[in-house]
Amino acid sequence: MTTANEPYVLNIGPQHPSTHGVFRLRVVMDGERIQDIDMVIGYLHRSMEKLAEERTYTQNIPFTDRTDYLAAMSNNLGYCLAAERLAGVEVPERASYLRVIFAELQRIASHSMGNGTFINDAGAWSTPLMYMFREREKILDLFEMTCGARLTTNYMRIGGVAFDPPNEFYPAVNALIDELPDRIDEYTELLVDNEILLARTRNVGVLSAADAINGSITGPMLRASGVPWDLRKAEPYCSYDRFDFDIPVGHVGDCYDRFMVRLEEMRQSVRIIRQALEDLPSGPHKTEIPLALRPEPGEAYARVEGPRGELGFYVVSDGGPAPYRFHIRAPSLINLSLLRQMAVGASLPDAIVTLGSTDIVVGEIDR
């Protein structure tokens, strides 16, 4: 008896642990190998860009929390920078420093989550994820004591930040950044030379530097392919030009490099936070802006180096109280442009690891 070797369609998701949200993959399999892969997205589409056209510039800040809900601070920051450029608002120095501190804390929290779930996808069920959640939890506590929210922070304002951190914030953040390097060393010992992890991630989902650049890949994925491109260095916003930090890069561009780049970036973020706390200037934390903010007609594209890559906000004003057009350049979505290229020909478990290494947040993909 012979069996026909026909391709078959395998459906992953929309509800599946490895899809990190409500995200569906339709995979055409030829035996163990992936012949074609198609993603079906939109389950979380909330039409943020349309909603923003009927809300004032300030009312739009909470929406940005809910796009990438694992990096609300970075989203707040990117949008506020765009609105400030559009309206010509200057930000006090203290606010710039506070923005850097919170954006970097957010990066550590997001990379903890990203690396933790990636390891989860690679088969190390839950233990490393819970280790990394331990530190993320402390960062979320810091957010809570400052602005009252843990995930949807709504902390940045056009012209600065909403609140000065309370007095108990400073000892807590200092204790955390003293502790974090040891914790990151702990992850390194636990994971980096782990033979199973190496076998699962080395030379899997390889992306060359040229492909990554042409495919609009940004953030840790681009750096893992060996391109030292970081907007905090290339186009410094806030006060990043005053801090000393390195851009970690990978060599191969595989899943392992992406994991390592994120791990190293957490160390660099600790360095930045330490410097920002040491030099934190006194003064106001916010510039007062008119309640009825009507920027001149024009457009602004501001971007920040979010945890997942270039997080851009393109805002067009027609002189009215609400943005005429509001577009979010979502790194989670655009980093998936080359998913097909990375996954076709690979085996199914490798594709799951590759998807995990892109560190997607479905709220940001669908918006």
Partner 1 sequence: MPRGPRQLDGHEVARLLSAAVPGAVTVATDEWVEIQPGRVVDVMRWLHDDAEMDAAQLSNLCGVDRYDHFEIVYHLQSLDQNHQIVVKARLTDHEAASVQSCFPVYTGALLQEREVYDLMGIHFDGHPDLRRMFLWEGYPAFPLRKDFLQIVDHHPGLPHFPFETGKQER
- Taking CB under 8 A as the binding criterion, the range among 182-190, 193-201, 298-306, 353-361 that sits at the site for partner 1 is 298-306
- Taking CB under 8 A as the binding criterion, the range among 104-112, 150-158, 175-183, 320-328 that sits at the site for partner 1 is 320-328
Q: How far apart are CA 280 and CA 296, in angstroms?
A: 33
Smallest gap from residue 33 Cβ to partner 1 (A): 21
| Secondary structure (DSSP) of 182-231 | HHHHHHIIIIIT-HHHHHHHTTSS---HHHHHHTT--THHHHHTT----H
Question: Using the rule CB under 8 A, which residue among 73, 122, 217, 276 binds partner 1?
Answer: 217
Question: Using the rule CB under 8 A, which residue among 214, 246, 251, 279 binds partner 1?
Answer: 214
Say if CB 322 and CB 58 are below 8 A apart: no
Q: How far apart are CA 231 and CA 12, in angstroms?
A: 34
CB closer to partner 1, 45 vs 134: 45
Smallest gap from residue 216 Cβ to partner 1 (A): 2
Q: Is 286 in the site for partner 1 (CB under 8 A)?
A: no
Question: Using the rule CB under 8 A, which residue among 172, 298, 347, 349 binds partner 1?
Answer: 298
Question: Using the rule CB under 8 A, which residue among 42, 62, 226, 349 binds partner 1?
Answer: 42
Q: Which of 47, 54, 70 is nearest to 360 (CA)?
A: 70
Q: What is the largest CA-CA distance in the chain?
A: 82
Question: Using the rule CB under 8 A, which residue among 218, 275, 354, 357 binds partner 1?
Answer: 218
Indicate the DSSP class of residue 19.
G
What DSSP element (H or E) covers 29?
A: strand 24-30
Q: Which of 212, 217, 252 is nearest to 334 (CA)?
A: 217
| Secondary structure (DSSP) of 252-300 | S-SHHHHHHHHHHHHHHHHHHHHHHHHT---S-SB----SS--PPSEEE
Q: Which residues lie below 8 Å from residue 30, measured CB to CB, with a gap of 6+?
A: 5, 7
Q: Which of 300, 306, 356, 299 is nearest to 330 (CA)?
A: 306
Smallest gap from residue 325 Cβ to partner 1 (A): 5
Q: Tell which positions 133-192 bind partner 1, by CB under 8 A.
A: none
Q: Is 296 in the site for partner 1 (CB under 8 A)?
A: yes
Question: Using the rule CB under 8 A, which residue among 7, 321, 344, 347 binds partner 1?
Answer: 321
Question: Using the rule CB under 8 A, which residue among 22, 151, 289, 316 binds partner 1?
Answer: 316
Q: Tell which positions 223-252 bind partner 1, by CB under 8 A.
A: 227, 229, 234-235
Q: Is 312 in the site for partner 1 (CB under 8 A)?
A: yes
Q: How far apart are CA 327 and CA 315, in angstroms?
A: 6
Q: Is 216 in the site for partner 1 (CB under 8 A)?
A: yes
Q: How far apart are CA 180 and CA 188, in angstroms?
A: 12
Smallest gap from residue 189 Cβ to partner 1 (A): 35
CB closer to partner 1, 173 vs 302: 302
Question: Using the rule CB under 8 A, which residue among 37, 302, 342, 343 binds partner 1?
Answer: 302
Say if CB 197 and CB 235 are below 8 A apart: no
Smallest gap from residue 29 Cβ to partner 1 (A): 20
Say if CB 360 and CB 367 are below 8 A apart: no
Smallest gap from residue 246 Cβ to partner 1 (A): 18
Residues that bind partner 1 (CB under 8 A): 41-42, 45, 47, 49-50, 53-56, 85-86, 211, 213-218, 227, 229, 234-235, 291-292, 296, 298-303, 310, 312, 314, 316, 318, 320-322, 324-325, 327, 329, 333-334, 336-338, 366-367
